[in-house]
Amino acid sequence: MCLGVPGKIIEIKDMMANVDVAGAKKETCLMLLDDVNVGDYIIIHAGFAIQKVNEKEAQETLRIMNDLIKGMPQ
Amino acid sequence: MKYIDEFRQKNAAQAILKKIHEISKKKCNIMEICGTHTHAISKYGIRNALPPNICLISGPGCPVCVTSAGDVNRVIEFSKREKDVILATFGDMMRVPGTESSLQEQKAAGRDIRVVYSPLGAIDIAMAKPEKEVILFAVGFETTVPTVAATVLMAKDKGIKNFSVFALHKLTPPAMKALLDLGELNLHGFICPGHVTTIIGANAYRFIAEDYHAPCVVAGFEPLDAIHGLYMLVKQLEEGRNDIEIQYKRVVTWNGNVKAQKIIEQVFEICDSSWRGIGTIPMSGLRLKEEFADFNAEKRFGIKSETFEKPLDMILDLRLDNGDLKSEIQTGCACGEVLRGLLIPNQCPLFGKVCSPETPVGPCMVSFEGTCAAYYKYEFLQST
Ligand code: SF4
């Protein structure tokens, strides 16, 4: 039930956004977030955007995992 | 798909699993609280790929599963009594058994019960059918709560009068505390739910590290996230640390979604709540504040409140006279033990024989995220 999927905001009209989720369009309410813009990635749960996805942190996590796999010190 | 594919690379997953095998020496019990994690861990075969000294136990993090039979009964009674209403609910709730019936059976008997994907769907129905009362039967943890709170604010703002909420929301940290206090399991650490924590922030688990000396890692839901989160937790356990760490940093912060928290606080207040299989946990639920009484279905329709007869420390007596467990004894369903992590589903005598996703006996098999459903779908063949 706490399922959340990432999607990319295509268009914003007032409180509602049109979000691309793996090619499908989803009407998503933005009431729970400040400062969201077209092009942002968000996590959608029950028709609401519950958080923005932080690209920098995503890259950092992938880097940490990569270092771990390569046996670099943590 | 961005933010999914990168976190599903099979080679990387295998490599990190290998690292877990390399560092893991201690025998430990780790609980994954969240049903979405249970599902992902079963789906990707992670449970069986871990070293044998790590026991990964599924927790009570499926909102549909922990809704008490007493609460399901109240909703069913309400739907029988008030024939002119439309009940809106999330999909999984339809088949959850009360003591004698389920919403699905009520729908078959002619009640207007509709499944919505978002709480906003209930508002749409209310606007399309102004002559009907529309009641949203709202279950869910902290992830779902702000969506319902925002919907109530929106209904108030739009002056929608024929919409109300039957709220049975539950909070995660008090349930973790209750399981630790019950002491039935010797839990060494937690994989904490990614999306619940998106809202409440990872600081919410500080007391678990400080008071119970159990480390926590907040992990994402893709296979690499789950495996990496497990690696981080096992590393802490091996090094004797009790820290709170965030693996799912692309979405989770220490303080969470403050705007969502404010919206929750505006609409809801904390109350006791009754959990299936666990009992009443103090301050583990949410009810609508007095100023939103117009949107409180229980008040508006005079629905009797749950009687909290059993405090948590009387849990052992629950087997004898609590309606929930009595009915479960009658059916032989062991959901209570499964939800508390005492039994794995295949230890239930009904599992896979009488009870399957097509013919579920208990809520843990009904819900897509229920532990029994996850085991049935992904681990049945491996375990038999
Ligand atoms: S397998 Fe079925 S009967 Fe057994 S505990 Fe799970 S839901 Fe209940």
Same domain, B52 and B198: yes
Residue B312: which pLDDT band, with cuts at 50, 70 and 90? very low
Same domain, B305 and B338: no
What's the rounded Cα separation, in Å, for the pair B362 and B219? 28
What's the rounded Cα separation, in Å, for the pair B230 and B19? 11
Same domain, B202 and B339: no
Same domain, B133 and B282: yes
Same domain, B167 and B85: yes
Q: Do the domain assignments include residue B368?
A: yes
pLDDT reading at B96 higher than 90? no
* pLDDT 10s digits, B364-373: 998 888 999 9
Instruction: Tell me the mean pLDDT in the region B139-161.
Output: 97
Whole-number Å distance, alpha carbon B289 to ligand 1 midpoint, is 36
Task: Quote the number of domains for chain B.
Answer: 3
Whole-number Å distance, alpha carbon B335 to ligand 1 midpoint, is 5
**Strand pairing partners for B270?**
B286
Q: What pLDDT was estimated at residue B325?
A: 44
Instruction: Tell me the mean pLDDT in the region B96-119.
Output: 90
Min Cα distance A46 → chain B (Å) is 4
Domains and CATH numbers, chain A: 5-70 (2.30.30.140)
Q: Do the domain assignments include residue B41?
A: yes
By the 8 A CB rule, do B343 and B296 touch?
A: no
Same domain, B287 and B359: no
Pick from B246, B274, B298: which residue ends a domain? B246
**Strand pairing partners for B200?**
none
Residue B381: which pLDDT band, with cuts at 50, 70 and 90? low
Q: What pLDDT was estimated at residue B130?
A: 95
* pLDDT 10s digits, A55-66: 999 999 999 999
pLDDT reading at B322 higher than 50? no
pLDDT reading at B383 higher than 70? no
Residue A3: which pLDDT band, with cuts at 50, 70 and 90? confident
- Higher pLDDT, residue B335 or A51: A51
Q: Do the domain assignments include residue B20?
A: yes
Q: Do the domain assignments include residue B251?
A: no
pLDDT reading at B278 higher than 50? yes
Same domain, B138 and B190: no
Q: Do the domain assignments include residue B222?
A: yes
* pLDDT 10s digits, B243-268: 999 999 999 999 999 999 999 999 99
Same domain, B150 and B265: yes
- The CATH number of the domain where B128 resides is what? 3.40.50.11740
Residue B300 contacts A where some CB pair is shorter than 8 Å: no
Contact A33 B150 (CB under 8 A): no
Same domain, B25 and B85: no
Instruction: Tell me the mean pLDDT in the region B325-346.
Output: 74
Atom of ligand 1 nearest to the CA of B334: 5
Q: Which helix (H) or strand (E) holds B265?
A: helix B258-267
Ordered DSSP codes for B39-85: HHHHHTTHHHHS-TTEEEEEEEE-HHHHB-HHHHHHHHHHHHH-TTE
* pLDDT 10s digits, B172-214: 999 999 999 988 889 999 999 999 999 999 999 999 999 999 9
pLDDT reading at B326 higher than 70? no
Same domain, B218 and B360: no
Give the contacts of A54 (CB within 8 A, at least 6 positions apart). Answer: B249, B250, B251
What's the rounded Cα separation, in Å, for the pair A6 and B240? 35
DSSP symbol at B204: G
Residue A24 contacts B where some CB pair is shorter than 8 Å: no
- In chain B, what percentage of residues exceed pLDDT 70? 92
Q: Do the domain assignments include residue B176?
A: no
Q: Do the domain assignments include residue B252?
A: no
Residue B384: which pLDDT band, with cuts at 50, 70 and 90? very low
Q: Do the domain assignments include residue B342?
A: yes
Min Cα distance A2 → chain B (Å) is 6
* pLDDT 10s digits, B27-77: 999 999 999 999 999 999 999 999 999 999 999 989 988 988 888 888 988
Same domain, B299 and B319: no
pLDDT reading at B328 higher than 90? no
In B, which residues are within 8 Å of A30 by CB distance?
none
Contact A2 B143 (CB under 8 A): yes
Q: What pLDDT was estimated at residue B319?
A: 38
The amino acid sitting at A27 is E
pLDDT reading at B309 higher than 80? no
Mean pLDDT across chain B, nearest whole number? 89
Please indicate whether residue B135, judged by its CB atom, sits closer than 6 Å to ligand 1: no
Contact B251 A43 (CB under 8 A): yes
pLDDT reading at B219 higher than 70? yes
Give the contacts of A43 (CB within 8 A, at least 6 positions apart). Answer: A4, A5, A6, A49, A50, A51, A52, A53, B195, B198, B251
- The CATH number of the domain where B52 resides is what? 3.40.50.11750
Residue B90 contacts A where some CB pair is shorter than 8 Å: yes
What's the rounded Cα separation, in Å, for the pair B14 and B382? 19
* pLDDT 10s digits, B111-122: 999 999 999 999
Pick from B312, B331, B347: which residue ends a domain? B312
H helix intervals, B82-221: 103-108, 120-128, 145-158, 172-182, 194-200, 206-212
Instruction: Tell me the mean pLDDT in the region A5-32.
Output: 96
Pick from B196, B221, B246: which residue ends a domain? B246
Q: pTM score, two decimals?
A: 0.92
* pLDDT 10s digits, A28-52: 999 999 999 999 999 999 999 999 9
Q: What pLDDT was estimated at residue A72?
A: 73
Q: What pLDDT was estimated at residue B320?
A: 35
In B, which residues are within 8 Å of A22 by CB distance?
1, 4
Min Cα distance A23 → chain B (Å) is 9
In B, which residues are within 8 Å of A2 by CB distance?
34-36, 61, 63, 140-141, 143-144, 193-196
In A, which residues are within 8 Å of B235 by CB distance?
74
Domain that includes residue B333, residue range? 314-383
- In chain B, what percentage of residues exceed pLDDT 90? 66
Contact B146 A32 (CB under 8 A): yes
Same domain, B36 and B76: no
